[in-house]
Amino acid sequence: MSVTIREARPDDVDALVRFVHELAAYEREPESCHLTAAQLHTALFGDSPAVFAAVATVDDEVAAMALWFVTFSTWTGVHGIHLEDLYVSPAHRRHGLARALLADLARTCLDRGWSRLEWAVLDWNTPALDFYATLSSVPTAGWTTHRVDGDALRALAT
């Protein structure tokens, strides 16, 4: 078994979109996921990309992905990574691909002098929580994310 971690390429987009939809189904919200291949291609490979993806391949098949964007902390004064989606296809689980992708993102942080690698996890997702505990990740207790979208966003704008 030959495992490679590399940046995503345009010909990976179809696999990445499939992974995103499989992950939304696992997260019990398949109807909330509307991502298209055209959207992800523009986001990753357009004129000014603000989202990035790494893939793990097993014997040249795309087996896992990490999709992320750049944050900024006013407390540390430097950037960081928000991992938006981490997914390993079912046939390739329990082989260390998720850890390998996270390690790659951790190296990206250190190489660039960035301070934090963050992600959000569903409170009921015990397998994920158990895995993240092995990385000594810390929940940011006491903070809750608030969101405005749809009609509330339009109302706020006026």
Residues that bind a copy of itself (CB under 8 A): 20, 23-24, 29, 32-36, 39-40, 43, 50-51, 67, 69-80, 82, 84-85, 102-103, 106-107, 109-110, 115-124, 132, 135-149, 151-158
User: Least Å distance between CB 59 and a copy of itself?
Assistant: 26
CB nearer to a copy of itself: give 58 or 85. 85
Q: Which is nearer to a copy of itself, 9 or 110 (CB)?
A: 110
Comparison of 7 and 148: residue with beta carbon closer to a copy of itself: 148
Neighbours of 89 (CB within 10 A): 18
Contact 73, 116 (CB under 8 A): yes
Closest CB to a copy of itself among residues 60, 156: 156
User: Burial letters for 58-68: b for 16+ Cβ neighbours within 10 Å, e otherwise?
Assistant: beeebbbbbbb
CB of 61 to a copy of itself, least distance (A): 21
Taking alpha carbons only, the member of 27, 62, 21 closest to residue 40 is 21
Element (H, E) at 61: strand 61-72
| Count of CB atoms situated within 10 Å of the CB of 148 | 11
Would you tell me the crossing angle of helices 37-45 and 13-26 to the nearest 10 degrees? Answer: 120
Taking the complex as a whole, the smallest distance from the CB of residue 40 to a copy of itself amounts, in Å, to 7
| Least Cβ distance, residue 34 to a copy of itself (angstroms) | 6
| Closer to a copy of itself by Cβ: residue 45 or 69 | 69
The three-state secondary structure class of 1 is coil
